[in-house]
Amino acid sequence: FALFTRNQRRWESPPLKPESILKFREECQNYGINPNHILPHDSYLINLGHPEPDALDRSRRAFIDEMKRCHELGLLYLNFHPGSTLDRISESECLTIIAQSINQALDTIPNVTAVIENTAGQGSNVGYRFEHLRDIIAQVNDQQRIGFCIDTCHTLAAGYDIRTLETFNQTLDELDRVVGLDYLKGMHLNDAKKGLGSRVDRHTSLGEGVLGMECFRCIIRDNRLAEIPLILETPDPERWPEEIRKLHALLSD
């Protein structure tokens, strides 16, 4: 499962209470949930590649606080959107700033792995090319505590076809060649409202967008993806139980 450890749409949040930390750890143990299967997400406000020093510092402090919360809860990962150029710097400059931000956080907080999410490339966001993920990871000092998460909607919108078994495998092979599947720490499962290469980030319920169900059949049946957290980010929470049943059914249909 995924969670936010603080309000994802505000800069400031109160510290986690000791009793909340203890209760969370106990419940994970009680329900047999492995920390490897939990993928927390950071605040949507954070831009680790911000071109302005003051705003960058604010994002970095917020990210370190997010990492600290994960560490307190006994979590191993923190999933985040890499950042945006805001059309003021080049993509390569932005990628370097993001890597520097990650290095600062990893130097400050132990044990938690930073997990970069690929993006749809909407607006001035970086991270929509596999090469962007590669270039960030290459500049991170602690290679044992960096990884990435693949969002299915973002992947299609960025121009990578994953709609059939053949194109899914081609894309996964390219991802392995460019970045390395050893760094893959999780996936977000979303159908997409907009088409291949649209660069538009619009999620929809499984089987009701342009991806269809074949993509998710490939994911569910691929042994390379068996032990990573697979997170639904579809827009209707009331339909999540139905969508989870659909995914389980793909194992045998």
69 is catalytic: no
pLDDT in tens, 29-57: 999 999 999 999 999 999 999 999 999 99
72 is catalytic: no
Report the SS3 class of residue 152: helix
Flag the least confident range among 4-13, 103-112, 228-237: 4-13
In the chain, which residue ranges form alpha helices assigned H by DSSP?
A: 18-30, 53-73, 91-108, 130-138, 152-157, 165-178, 214-221, 240-249
Report the SS3 class of residue 52: coil
| 253 pLDDT higher than 80 | no
176 is catalytic: no
50 is catalytic: no
- Looking at the chain, the whole-number percentage of residues with pLDDT higher than 90 is 97
| 252 pLDDT higher than 90 | no
- Which amino acid type is present at position 174? E
Spot the catalytic one: 6, 154, 163, 217.
154
151 is catalytic: yes
Q: How far apart are CA 202 and CA 195, in angstroms?
A: 10
pLDDT in tens, 156-213: 999 999 999 999 999 999 999 999 999 999 999 999 999 999 999 999 999 999 999 9
Beta bridge partners of 172: none
Given a contact cutoff of 8 angstroms between Cβ atoms, the answer to whether 128 and 118 are in contact is yes
State the pLDDT confidence band at 9, using cuts at 50, 70 and 90.
confident
- Which amino acid type is present at position 61? R
